[in-house]
Chains A and B, each alone.
Chain A
Amino acid sequence: MPQSRPPAPQILAVVNEFLETELLPGLEGEKWFNLKVAINLLALIERELALAPASDEAAGQRLGALLREEGPLAAQTRRLAAGIRSGEVAIDDPELLQHLRETTRDALRINNPRWLKS
């Protein structure tokens, strides 16, 4: 990322504030609905920018331990998915389930934090 100012998360925040306070109140029907959804998506990206570096790091470490092999996150995820499909990975392995629970929680912290029960 460039060292330019203001940084991307702040730009997103100000754009979203503008959309929500200046544009949304003047709309109705389908346009209101779609802008509302768009505002929620921008807020989601804000959370992703803030949270993903740490959750990706943690996921990488868990995957490294599970698969006994290092690699980029996407490739590791693909490997784990293939292992579950082939039966190579036992689906009742507590370490696997722990990893999946944490990965799913971390994704929800970005995609929809209100879905989390605690």
Chain B
Amino acid sequence: MNQSFKQILIASLFALVVIISPASYAQSLDFAQLTVDEDVTPEERLAKKIELTVDALEKAEERVVEMRAQLEALEFEDETPELQLRDNLVTRTNEYSTFYNEKLTALTLALTIEEVDLIIDEIITYRETIYAPGAKEIIEFNLVYSYTPSVLTLADQRMENILKDVARLEGLELIEPSTFVSRTDEAQAILQKAHDLQTQAATLLIENFVTPTATSTLAIEFTEVPLEPEITPRLLAEQSLAEIKSLYELFIETGEKVTETLGIN
């Protein structure tokens, strides 16, 4: 009995070592600083380079497809600058896809390490000079028109549910009326501010699109909190999201206060 227990223990430890070790080892590696073993043949190097580049290109294409899907999921009125801007950005994602697919084809024809390196250099340069500035605009557009509104909708629903719960608890005389007035008022004010910031971000984004050189008329409104010198749609969207974060902290505090008041904790 004792002997079999020992055997099971040893087997379990061995299994643990086998399972955990590769993962820990992989985590400890610096991803970008893998070195080539000296005994690797040029053919193996070529194959590995191609494999890694193909992997990067496929991921890049997936990323572009995801961006395009997010843009196309947004609905705007016909003949509005928002729709026009969105369509421009969609066209841009198509150009990225074309480039990545061309490079994937080029890789299949590459026969030497030098040829592959040349392709890799082209991809890196393209991503730095063409893709990054364009992707920045796409991400900003999605941030303003997709992510922030979806988070705001969720916060709106939560606010509504909290207000309903507080009203019900007051109705049931489980909490004193007006105990939570200051908290709910503060929460509503934060939520409103988040909405305003998102609206301003959208306004500025379109303003910049219609008249790219125009300076923002919103600048005056933000002299109270000069977080950064330049006010951009992204900054406004980020501020809106930061408000939502603080709103949720307040929501959690309110929830805790309710349970404390009811004496159920």
Our verdict on whether A and B bind, yes or no, reads: no
